[in-house]
C-alpha cells in the first residue's frame, strides 16, 4: 500500500506533486528589457510542465529582478484560461542591493510585504496569488506586524494562502501565534546532497549531529501541523544526474553511480530516481524543480510513477552520507 499524499491543508487546492520553479525565467539578473525570445522560452517551459502534469508554479519578486514574474505574466496573457488551471506561488521578503540606498537585506515589515504583493500582482497581471511565501527569516521581524499584513492581504482577496521559506519549526510556531490565517507551506533546501532533513532526526544524541544545521523537529512539526514541505534544489544542481563530479567528495561520485544503476534497472531517467527518493519521505515532500529547458523538464516525468523500496532508499541515503546506518 502507498501512503504518499499531500498534507491536509493542501486538499483545499489542486496541488501537483511537483512544482516548476521559475527562477530562471527572464534571463539575466539585470535591468535589461524582456525580449520575445525570453517569453517564448518561458512559454515552452510552462507548456512542457503542463504536459507532464505539473500545474503548480513557484516564483519570487526578486527572481531575475522582477523579470521572471513579468515573463510569466506574458505567458498567462497568451494562453487563454491558463490562470484558472494553475497554482501561482510567489515570495517576498528579500531586498536586493541596488534597488534602493540600503544594503541587501531581509524585510518582512508590513509596509514592505504589502508593497511587494502589489508589485507581484502587477508584474503577473493577475488579481490574486494562490500562495505567498515569506522568503527568508528576518531577524528584525515583528510577528504581530506580519500577522496584520497577511490578514489585510487575505481580507482584500489578494492572497488566498500563506507559507514560509527556509524556516524552522519554532520560527513558524511564533509567526502562527500572531496570524489569523494558517501557514500551509514551508520551502527548504532538501536533496540527496543536502540530507540535513534526515540527519536531524537520525543523528540525535550522536556525534554527526554536531555538524548538522537543519533545525531539529521541523519535519515532524510540519507533518503534525499539516504544512506542506517543498524542496528547493532537489536535484542538487545535477550532481547525481550526469553533471561532471570530479573534485566533489567521494560520496557524490558513488551515489551518482548508484542512481544511474537504479535508473537503468527501471528504464527511467536519473532525475526520476533522485526525485522519487525525496518523495518517498512520509512528509509528502513536493520537489520544486528549477529547469527551464523542455528536455530537462521532461526528464522528471516518471518521478511520480515509481516507488523506491525501503532498501533502495536506505542504499541512496547511506551512500550520500558516506556511512552505514
The domains of the chain are located at: 8-246+283-306
Catalytic position from the list 63, 216, 300, 317:
63
Give tens-digit pLDDT for 31-73.
899 999 999 999 999 999 999 999 999 999 999 999 999 999 9
What's the whole-number mean pLDDT along residues 177-201? 91
- Residue 3 has a pLDDT of 42
Q: What sign for the dihedral angle of Cα 95, 99, 102, 103?
A: positive
Kind and range of the H or E run holding 316:
helix 310-321
Lowest mean pLDDT of 13-17, 27-31, 35-39, name the range. 13-17
* Rounded CA separation 255/279 (Å): 17
The conformation of residue 178, written as its DSSP 8-state character, comes to: T
Q: Is the pLDDT of residue 264 over 90?
A: yes
Q: Is the pLDDT of residue 311 over 90?
A: yes
Give tens-digit pLDDT for 106-135.
999 999 999 999 999 999 999 999 999 999
* Grid cell listed for 276: 522519487
- Residue 205 has a pLDDT of 54
Across 4-13, 125-134, 201-210, 314-323, the highest mean pLDDT is recorded for 125-134
Domain boundaries 8-246+283-306, corresponding CATH code? 3.20.20.100
206-214 contacts, C-beta under 8 A, 24 or more apart: 208/321, 214/188
Q: Is the pLDDT of residue 79 over 80?
A: yes
Q: Is the pLDDT of residue 140 over 80?
A: yes
Contact 115, 83 (CB under 8 A): no
- Residue 10 has a pLDDT of 55
Contact 50, 261 (CB under 8 A): no
* Rounded CA separation 288/235 (Å): 9
Residue 106: active-site member: no
Model confidence band, residue 211 (pLDDT cutoffs 50, 70, 90):
low
The pTM for the full model equals 0.92
Annotate 28-66 with DSSP letters as a single string: SSSSPPPPHHHHHHHHHHHHHHHHTT--EEE--TTGGGG
Model confidence band, residue 209 (pLDDT cutoffs 50, 70, 90):
low
Amino acid at each position: 500500500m502507498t501512503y504518499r499524499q499531500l498534507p491536509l491543508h493542501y486538499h483545499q487546492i489542486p496541488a501537483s506533486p511537483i512544482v516548476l520553479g521559475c527562477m530562471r525565467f527572464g534571463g539575466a539578473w539585470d535591468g535589461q528589457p524582456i525580449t520575445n525570445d525570453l517569453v517564448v522560452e518561458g512559454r515552452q517551459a510552462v507548456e512542457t510542465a503542463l504536459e507532464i502534469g505539473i500545474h503548480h508554479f513557484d516564483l519570487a519578486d526578486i527572481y531575475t529582478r522582477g523579470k521572471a514574474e513579468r515573463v510569466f505574466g506574458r505567458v498567462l496573457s497568451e494562453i487563454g484560461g491558463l490562470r484558472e488551471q494553475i497554482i501561482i506561488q510567489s515570495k517576498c521578503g528579500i531586498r536586493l542591493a541596488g534597488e534602493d540606498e540600503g544594503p541587501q537585506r531581509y524585510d518582512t515589515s508590513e509596509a514592505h510585504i504589502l508593497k511587494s504583493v502589489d508589485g507581484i500582482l502587477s508584474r503577473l497581471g493577475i488579481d490574486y496569488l494562490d500562495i505567498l511565501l515569506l522568503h527568508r527569516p528576518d531577524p528584525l521581524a515583528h510577528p504581530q506586524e506580519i500577522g496584520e499584513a497577511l490578514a489585510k492581504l487575505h481580507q482584500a482577496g489578494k492572497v488566498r494562502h500563506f507559507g514560509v521559506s527556509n524556516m524552522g519549526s519554532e520560527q513558524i510556531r511564533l509567526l502562527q501565534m500572531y496570524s489569523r490565517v494558517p501557514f500551509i507551506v514551508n520551502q527548504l533546501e532538501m536533496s540527496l546532497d543536502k540530507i540535513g532533513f534526515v540527519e536531524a532526526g537520525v543523528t540525535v544524541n550522536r556525534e554527526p549531529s554536531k555538524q548538522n544545521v537543519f533545525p531539529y523537529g521541523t519535519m515532524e512539526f510540519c507533518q503534525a501541523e499539516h504544512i506542506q514541505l517543498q524542496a528547493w534544489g532537489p536535484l542538487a544542481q545535477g550532481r547525481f544526474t550526469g553533471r561532471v563530479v570530479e573534485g566533489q567528495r567521494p560520496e557524490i561520485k558513488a551515489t551518482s553511480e548508484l542512481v544511474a544503476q537504479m535508473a537503468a534497472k527501471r528504464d527511467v531517467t536519473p532525475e526520476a530516481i533522485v526525485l522519487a527518493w525525496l518523495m518517498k519521505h512520509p512528509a509528502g515532500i513536493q520537489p520544486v524543480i528549477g529547469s527551464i529547458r523542455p528536455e530537462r523538464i521532461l526528464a522528471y516525468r516518471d518521478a511520480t510513477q515509481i516507488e523506491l523500496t525501503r532498501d533502495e532508499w536506505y542504499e541512496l541515503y547511506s551512500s550520500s552520507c558516506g556511512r552505514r546506518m
